Amino acid sequence: MSYEPSASSPAPTSDRLFFKYIMENGPSSRAKIATEHNLSRPTASEAASRLLERGYIKALAKDAGASGKRGRVPELYDLADTLGYTLAVSAETDCFRGAIYNLRGEQLAQVSVPTYWESNAVIQQTLETLIDELVKDISLPILAATVAVASPVNPNTQQLGKIPDLGYHDQPLDFYSYLTERFNCPVMVDDRINWVLLNETREGIAQHVPVVLGIHLNEGISAALAINGRLYRGASGRNGLIHLVSAENKTLRQRLRTLGVVDEHSFLSDEGGYLNFKKTAELIVADPESESSQLYLMSLAESIVNAAIITDPSALLLTGPAVENKAFLSLLTELISEKYPWHDLNIIVSEDGARAIRDGVREGSHLLAMVRLGLANPHELGLLYPDRPINFGISAPANEYK
């Protein structure tokens, strides 16, 4: 039987609340959960029964002496030991990083494998080495897997798109098919800024912000938009590539690469090269009044301001390694505020810095696992078409919600 996420979660709200409370707070009684979520006792009991039947939770053995009280000892529930894990992979310019987590978000394994983006064969070998090392001591199934890449990803096909001015000529690696076939689980591949913004709107500084424009300063300059917590990815996943915006017959990235530091990689053409914001920020801070520093900051700030003018966000979120340099951040935000026509742009800064991508892809794998179990809404993943969710192409375990 194939599993396809529906437009609304198949699990009753009470089941979702019951499971989430245990997941976040540890062993708990029905009465405690009912009180915390304003559920009636019968409703809480029915939720517990359904979750037990599906093997999502377990009842702990009662220990009357442990409570130190007389009378009936409440039955406690905890997550089942056999549910499975989540897998999160970040494909970075110099290595692949991967981690395995349990459903409480606790990291069980972490591996980093160096790579050079010379060809698909090299990349494929890196990915296989990473996965083999990650799962060698894992006995439970992978419930869901997510991948963060520095590339646009078509949200309807999960296939990577090319970035025109980087000079990589192979067809991009099909992460989706490899991981789906290996683990028979839902897999979602996405641009790194989307994972970053997903995490920031769910767990980070952008929670409860109605319209967030996220700007990620890393090897490129990418943007993402979240409206009421839901990501907008465009018709084919190519929205937000600010470094491709042209002026005077040059893209922003081409202009910045002549002013700052560029990381050269063997797969890149002569016109290619990843921007190195961390090193560039250090140079700018050392001499902020130089012509190249001023041109760099002005070009970057104007492009960000243009994106903000078009989207009119409640807040502009800056993320990536560059934001860890407070002096550079101060120079950039001052210029953005000055160039924004109404001078009232609410600028917020990620507290994750260089960890933002890994935190984002971890949160994504957890949410995808919850969708698979029927305990989260597919809309929370920010799928573009409510009536056309991604077909994850997996077989449903017998205990999942139908």
Return all residues near 232 (Cβ < 8 A) that are at least 6 apart.
Answer: 224, 225, 226, 239, 382, 384
pLDDT (average), residues 45-65: 86
Residues sharing a CB contact under 8 Å with residue 304, sequence separation 6 or more, in sequence order: 215, 221, 242, 316, 336
Single out the residue of 49, 81, 76 nearest to residue 63, CA to CA: 76
Tell me whether residue 157 is exposed, middle or buried, using C-beta atoms within 10 angstroms of its C-beta: 0 to 12, 13 to 18, 19 or more: middle
**Lowest model confidence (mean pLDDT) among 6-15, 145-154, 237-246, 293-302:** 6-15
Q: Which pair of tokens denotes residue 266?
A: 């063997």
Average pLDDT over residues 130-137: 95
pLDDT at 395: 45
pLDDT at residue 254 is higher than 60: yes
For 236, list phi and psi in degrees, rounded to 5: -135, 15
Q: So what's the pLDDT on residue 316?
A: 97
Instruction: Report the pLDDT averaged over residues 170-194.
Output: 88
More confident residue, 308 or 377: 308
Q: Residue 388: its pLDDT value, please? A: 43
Q: Does residue 400 carry a pLDDT above 70? A: no
Look at phi and psi of residue 193 and say left if phi exceeds 0, alpha if psi is from -120 to 50, else beta. alpha
pLDDT number for residue 377: 82
Q: Is the pLDDT of residue 65 over 90?
A: no
Per-residue pLDDT band for 3 (boundaries 50, 70, 90) equals very low
Whole-angstrom distance, CA of residue 373 vs CA of residue 386: 19
Q: How many CB atoms within 10 Å of residue 39?
A: 20
Percent of the chain with pLDDT strictly greater than 70: 84
pLDDT at 18: 97
Q: Which two tokens stand for residue 35?
A: 């009180």
The pLDDT of residue 4 is 40
